[in-house]
C-alpha cells in the first residue's frame, strides 16, 4: 500500500512539474516518461553554444555542429538553415571539425547509442526530434497523414537537415538526417547513419566521402 501511495504522489508531482493535468499524464505512454539528462554546455572555436545530453555512458551533442568553414555548406546556401540544422560537411572536414575534447563518433560508438535506446528498428523514432519532420501518407490511405516526428525520448533531437550530393544538389531537407561516422570504408567511402521521416529505424550506410552530411560530436572518454 505504501509503495502504491508513493507512486501516486510521484505521478501527481510530475503532473505539476510538467504543468499537465493528471488526465493528460495518464495518456502519456510509459516508455516516453523518462528524464532527459543534459550535460554541460559546449562551445566551439567560434564560441557558438551547444546543448549536450548524457545517454547511457556517452555524452553527445544535442544538436548538429554549425561551425562554418571554407568547405562547409548551409542547406540551399541559406544561413538560416545552418542555424536550424547545423552545417553540412564532407568526411575529411568532419574528421577534424569537432571542438577540443570531442570527436566524430565511430560506428562502434553509434552502435553503443543504438543498443542503449533500444535496437536499430526503433532507435530512429527515439532519437528524432518531436517536431520538424515532414508528415506522410500511407499508400493505401492517401487521405490520412501520419507524423514523421519522433518521441525524442533521450533529448538527442535529430532534425532532418538533408544533405549535399556529389552533383552539388541539396536534397531531402525535412525528410532525412544523415550523419558521418569516423570509420572509413576504403579510400573513398566512409560509414554513416541515416534517420528517415517515414520509418522508426536507424540505418547504417556506406557513402562517398565527398558528400556533405551533418555532424554530431561525442565527448572523449
pLDDT tens-digit map of 106-145: 999 999 999 999 999 999 999 999 999 999 988 777 777 8
Tell me if 105 sits within 8 A of 218, measured CB to CB.
yes
pLDDT tens-digit map of 172-220: 999 999 999 999 999 999 999 999 999 999 999 999 999 999 999 999 9
DSSP state of 211: S
Q: What is the CA radius of gyration of the chain?
A: 19
Tell me if 181 sits within 8 A of 25, measured CB to CB.
no
DSSP state of 87: -
Containing 115, the helix (H) or strand (E) segment is: helix 107-117
Give the C-alpha separation, 137 to 146, whole Å: 6
For residue 101, pLDDT beyond 60: yes
What is the predicted pLDDT for the residue at 15?
Answer: 40
Q: The pTM is what?
A: 0.84
pLDDT tens-digit map of 69-87: 999 999 999 999 999 999 9
Give the C-alpha separation, 100 to 104, whole Å: 11
Amino acid at each position: 500500500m505504501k509503495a502504491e501511495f508513493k507512486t501516486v504522489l510521484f505521478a501527481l508531482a510530475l503532473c505539476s512539474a510538467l504543468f499537465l493535468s493528471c488526465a493528460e499524464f495518464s495518456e502519456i505512454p510509459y516508455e516516453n516518461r523518462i528524464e532527459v539528462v543534459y550535460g554541460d554546455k559546449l562551445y566551439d572555436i567560434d564560441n557558438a553554444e551547444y546543448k549536450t545530453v548524457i545517454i547511457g555512458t556517452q555524452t553527445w551533442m544535442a544538436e548538429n555542429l554549425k561551425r562554418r568553414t571554407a568547405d562547409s555548406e548551409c542547406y540551399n546556401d541559406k544561413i538560416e538553415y545552418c542555424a536550424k540544422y547545423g552545417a553540412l560537411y564532407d568526411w575529411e572536414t568532419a574528421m577534424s571539425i569537432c571542438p577540443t575534447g570531442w570527436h566524430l563518433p565511430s560506428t562502434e560508438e553509434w552502435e553503443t547509442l543504438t543498443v542503449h535506446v533500444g535496437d536499430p528498428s526503433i532507435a530512429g523514432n527515439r532519437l528524432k526530434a518531436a517536431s520538424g519532420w515532414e508528415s506522410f501518407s500511407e499508400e493505401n490511405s492517401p487521405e490520412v497523414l501520419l507524423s514523421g516526428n519522433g518521441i525524442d525520448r533521450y533529448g538527442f533531437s535529430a532534425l532532418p537537415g538533408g544533405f549535399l550530393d556529389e552533383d552539388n544538389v541539396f536534397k531531402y531537407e525535412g525528410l532525412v538526417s544523415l550523419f558521418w561516422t569516423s570509420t572509413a570504408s576504403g579510400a573513398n567511402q566512409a560509414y554513416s547513419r541515416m534517420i528517415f521521416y517515414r520509418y522508426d529505424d536507424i540505418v547504417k550506410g556506406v557513402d562517398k566521402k565527398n558528400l556533405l552530411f551533418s555532424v554530431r560530436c561525442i565527448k572523449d572518454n
